[in-house]
Amino acid sequence: MKTAEEIVNKYENLLYRAALTITQNREDALDMVQETFIKWITSRPEFQSDEHEKAWLLRVVMNLSRNLVSSAAHRLSCELLDIYPAETKEEESIMEEVLRLPEDYREIIYLYYYEGYNTEEIARILNLNVSTVRTKLSRGRGRLKGMLEEHGEARDESL
Amino acid sequence: MKAYKNYMDRIRLDEEQHDKLLEAVRAAEAEKNKNAVPKLAKTRRFPLKTFGLIASAAAVIILVIGVFPGRQTKQADSISTTLRNGTEAMAPNAHEEAEMVPAVPETAPSVITENDSLTSAFASADIERPAEAVYTLTGVIDFRSVSYDGKISQTGTAVPQATAQTSRADRKTAVLTEILKLLKTMIPQMQEAGEESGVNGSEDVCRFLIEGKEYLYRSAEGILRAEGREYVLSSSERAEMGKLLNEYFADR
């Protein structure tokens, strides 16, 4: 059985990124990470593998973050690029466009491109149909591509 | 998406945030360990489900008898109202409930004397008097305490008098605290009664109270409603009561 400290050390950054992707607010994201760990402590679920554990934590933090964003308590701001400034023009452009995407697209883009999950896995984590995930991923990519082209920065060859 | 990955790679908690998070998580873990339900060595003689079923059946019977006009006595009406109010799923419509809800008591609750029999105390309980209603509530233990011999020793159950000025939250806290106090007093007495009859049922009862919190929540809601206050405990209030309950029994 892992201790809370081990879990925090292992997953804090992963959960923070996931929460920040949805809330776009550092304090809110931190709150959601803390809430997730507390949920883990209180329920102490049994996991079949590390991958299972990671997916469970991601699912919890994303659900909590989504709930927060849809509630009145959400501190509205888009401060991500202020707190974590982009190092290159390319990073700035892509992040500006990603942050403009609706939250449900953003989380799928994050899980697919950053965490490397496939669409079936994303569907399980977000409790969605696989076809919904595929559609949103495709539309999200399309919107990113369109936005980048609009800005004359067609750096979307990898999209 | 390389730029995206590079950017996301740099998003990390700084040392201060990490320390704060770790501290909060450690505190939550310590709290969890502190509130852990104590393991009782003795196994139950009867599964809790059985008692839940008996209690539910009794509640349904009283409820059914209670809804036939002309057949209900004042006492039966009072008890069925308590049970009805304590059972969300069985709640009647708002109009009926409004008619059944008694007024806020005007007189101070009476103190239940020692060695009343559970049966007579149950029958004479008047839910317009909070102390007795609390006592009636503890009648649920009768369903569970196999070794309980029907005698109960209970003193000083006066619940703070409800007034129109008392806030709902204050009243809730007073009722919950009173229930817990009362239950805590009853445990050793039940143990004593159990020992006299040659069966130690106190562990069963203790476990029931800890595991059967839902019963207490509903009863607390019933008491509050019986005072003319529509009340459903929120999940945080239930958690708070569960925590109180665990604290009360943890030091046993």
CATH of the domain at A104: 1.10.10.10
Residue of A nearest to B35 (CA): A42
Distance between CA atoms of A24 and A72, rounded to whole angstroms?
A: 15
Q: Are residues A130 and A94 part of one domain? A: yes
Q: Are residues A67 and A101 part of one domain? A: no
Task: Tell me the average pLDDT across A4-19.
Answer: 91
Q: Calculate the dihedral angle through the C-alpha atoms of A100, A102, A104, A110, rounding to the nearest 10 degrees.
A: -10
A96 pLDDT tier (thresholds 50, 70, 90):
confident
Are A38 and B25 a contacting pair at CB < 8 A? yes
Distance between CA atoms of B22 and B16, rounded to whole angstroms?
A: 10
Percent above pLDDT 70 for chain B: 18
Q: Are residues A66 and A26 part of one domain? A: yes
Q: Which of B13, B22, B24 sits opposite A13 (nearest CB)?
A: B13
**Cβ atoms within 10 A of the Cβ of B147, count?**
20
Q: Are residues A3 and A58 part of one domain? A: yes
Residue pairs spanning A and B at CB distance below 8 A: 79
Distance between CA atoms of A41 and A36, rounded to whole angstroms?
A: 9
In a domain, A45, yes or no: yes
In a domain, A125, yes or no: yes
Tokens representing residue B109 in the block = 């609750």
Percent above pLDDT 90 for chain B: 0
Picking from A41, A66, A85, the residue at the C-terminal end of a domain is A85
Are B4 and A94 a contacting pair at CB < 8 A? yes
Query: Burial of B19 by CB count in 10 Å (0-12 exposed, 13-18 middle, 19+ buried)?
Result: exposed
Taking CB atoms and an 8 Å cutoff, what residues of chain B touch A13? 11-13
Instruction: Give the pLDDT of residue B28.
Output: 83
Q: Which residue has the higher pLDDT, B109 or B54?
A: B54
Residues of B near A (CB-CB distance < 8 A)?
Answer: 1-8, 10-13, 17-18, 20-22, 24-26, 28-29, 32
What DSSP state is assigned to residue B181?
H
What DSSP state is assigned to residue A113?
I
Q: How far is B9 from chain A (nearest CA, A)?
A: 9
Taking CB atoms and an 8 Å cutoff, what residues of chain B touch A17? 8, 11
Best residue of B2, B13, B23 to probe chain A, by most A CBs closer than 10 Å:
B13
How many alpha carbons fall within 13 Å on the CB side of residue B5?
10
Q: Are residues A147 and A109 part of one domain? A: yes
In a domain, A159, yes or no: no
Taking CB atoms and an 8 Å cutoff, what residues of chain A touch B2? 158
* Contacts with A119 (C-beta within 8 Å, 6 or more apart), sequence order: A112, A130, A133, A134, A137
Structural domain boundaries enclosing A69? 1-85
Distance between CA atoms of A19 and B121, rounded to whole angstroms?
A: 56
The ipTM of this complex is 0.86
Are A84 and B10 a contacting pair at CB < 8 A? yes
pLDDT tens digits for range B32-72:
777 665 555 444 555 566 667 777 777 777 777 665 544 44
Number of domains, chain A: 2
Is residue A130 pLDDT above 80, yes or no?
yes
Distance between CA atoms of B211 and B214, rounded to whole angstroms?
A: 8
Q: Which of B6, B7, B28 sits opposite A38 (nearest CB)?
A: B28
H-type alpha helices, A24-88: 26-43, 50-69, 80-83
Q: Are residues A58 and A26 part of one domain? A: yes
Instruction: Give the pLDDT of residue B164.
Output: 37
In a domain, A140, yes or no: yes
Q: Are residues A56 and A12 part of one domain? A: yes
- List phi, psi (to 5°) of A109: -60, -45
Provide the CATH number for the domain around residue A30.
Answer: 1.10.1740
In a domain, A107, yes or no: yes
Q: How far is B209 from chain A (nearest CA, A)?
A: 20
Is residue B165 pLDDT above 50, yes or no?
no
Picking from A57, A85, A113, the residue at the C-terminal end of a domain is A85
Q: Are residues A133 and A144 part of one domain? A: yes
* End-to-end CA, chain A: 40
Instruction: Give the pLDDT of residue B114.
Output: 34
Q: Are residues A58 and A98 part of one domain? A: no
Q: Where are the domains of chain B?
A: 45-250
Backbone region of residue B104 per phi and psi (left: phi > 0; alpha: psi in -120 to 50; beta: other values): beta
Tokens representing residue B10 in the block = 């740099």
The amino acid at residue B174 is A
Q: Are residues A76 and A104 part of one domain? A: no
Tokens representing residue A48 in the block = 């079949």
CA gyration radius, chain A: 16
Tokens representing residue A13 in the block = 């950054």
Q: Which of B2, B21, B22 sits opposite A30 (nearest CB)?
A: B21
pLDDT tens digits for range B74-107:
544 544 444 444 443 333 444 444 444 333 333 3
Instruction: Give the pLDDT of residue A12.
Output: 92
Q: Which residue has the higher pLDDT, B189 or A11?
A: A11
Is residue B149 pLDDT above 50, yes or no?
no
* Contacts with B37 (C-beta within 8 Å, 6 or more apart), sequence order: B210, B211, B246
What DSSP state is assigned to residue A49?
S
A11 pLDDT tier (thresholds 50, 70, 90):
very high
Contact A92, A17 (CB under 8 A): no
The reply to whether the predicted model has a pTM over 0.80 is no
Q: What is the mean pLDDT of chain B?
A: 55
Are B11 and A84 a contacting pair at CB < 8 A? yes
Q: Are residues A140 and A121 part of one domain? A: yes
Picking from A85, A101, A121, the residue at the C-terminal end of a domain is A85
**Which residues on adjacent β-strands are paired with residue B151?**
B117
Are B4 and A114 a contacting pair at CB < 8 A? yes
Distance between CA atoms of B214 and B204, rounded to whole angstroms?
A: 16
pLDDT tens digits for range B2-18:
888 888 988 888 888 89
Q: Are residues A91 and A81 part of one domain? A: no
Taking CB atoms and an 8 Å cutoff, what residues of chain B touch A42? 28, 32
- List phi, psi (to 5°) of B132: -70, -30
